[in-house]
């Protein structure tokens, strides 16, 4: 059953696309990305993540909702699904967003901001998973990747809060941000309806103790735990 105030896409499109069609759609939807702050008061922040089974085409998608002030988990939902789009770099959103959208459909709290474990405009067509999700839901969204998809940068300083600019040719596509002293930086980019400075401010605020923001950490822990449990159940059922 859907949540009382569940968040649903305001834009609908087919997910049954081939690679060429997906690229065309990315280019069209990229024109809708808003790179300025359009946030109201942020009370609840969502984190999303997807984990894949190593033994089958099954995957698990999770959404967590955190209190923006305390960073405590308020609500979560997990969806089991099947991969219906091939593994193609630059097109991960077509593989991962369908189950993520299903997970959001059962969340009762509408988030004011979404942080994705992936790229936003730091993408060859300036439309990574965070931008795709943000545009579909018309919700402020941040891309926060553990690894770089493309671009060049100089290493930021070693202290928490140090950063450098991520460039693709002459385009500023993101920020390489050090969230803790002497740890690997993360890659922050605009998803939708947020500026890059504000995105970095929120990511740093969400990472008071660890390298990754709490939204990503908790979503990651949830999908891994759920996937392990799912595979254990399937293994036990085969005995």
Binding residues for Mg(2+): 49, 117
Bridge partners of residue 164, in order along the sequence: 176
Burial grade of 17 (CB within 10 A; 0-12, 13-18, 19 or more): middle
Give the Cβ contact number of residue 133 at 10 Å.
27
64: left (phi over 0), alpha (psi -120 to 50) or beta: beta
Q: CB atoms < 10 A from the CB of 43, how many?
A: 14
What phi and psi values does residue 19 have, to the nearest 5 degrees? -60, -45
In 3-state terms the chain splits into helix, strand, coil percentages (rounded to 5) of 30, 25, 45
Residues forming a β-bridge with 47: 64, 115
Query: Which segments of the chain does DSSP mark as H helices, in order?
Result: 19-30, 92-104, 129-137, 196-205, 214-237
Beta pairing partners, 113:
45
CA 81 to chain centre: 18
Residues 75/94, Cβ–Cβ less than 8 Å: no
The residue among 188, 141, 192, 171 whose CA lies nearest residue 34 is 192
């Amino acid at each position: 059953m859907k949540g009382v105030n569940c968040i649903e896409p305001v834009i609908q499109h087919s997910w049954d696309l081939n690679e060429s069609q997906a690229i065309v759609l990315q280019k069209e939807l990229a024109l809708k990305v808003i790179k300025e702050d359009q946030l109201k008061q942020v009370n609840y922040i969502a984190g999303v993540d997807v984990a894949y089974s190593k033994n089958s085409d099954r995957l698990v998608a999770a959404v967590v909702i955190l209190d923006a002030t305390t960073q405590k988990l308020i609500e979560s939902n997990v969806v089991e699904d099947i991969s219906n789009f091939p593994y193609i770099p630059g097109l991960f959103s077509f593989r991962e967003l369908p189950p993520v959208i299903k997970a959001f459909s059962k969340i009762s709290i509408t988030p004011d901001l979404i942080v994705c474990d992936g790229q936003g405009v730091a993408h060859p067509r300036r439309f990574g998973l965070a931008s795709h999700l943000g545009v579909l839901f018309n919700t402020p969204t941040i891309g926060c990747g553990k690894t770089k998809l493309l671009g060049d940068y100089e290493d930021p300083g070693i202290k928490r809060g140090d950063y450098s600019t991520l460039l693709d040719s002459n385009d500023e596509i993101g920020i390489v941000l050090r969230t803790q002293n002497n740890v690997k930086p993360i890659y922050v980019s605009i998803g939708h309806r947020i500026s890059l400075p504000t995105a970095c401010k929120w990511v740093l605020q969400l990472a008071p103790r660890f390298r990754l923001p709490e939204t990503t950490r908790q979503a990651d822990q949830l999908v891994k735990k759920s996937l392990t449990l799912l595979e254990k159940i399937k293994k036990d059922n085969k005995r």
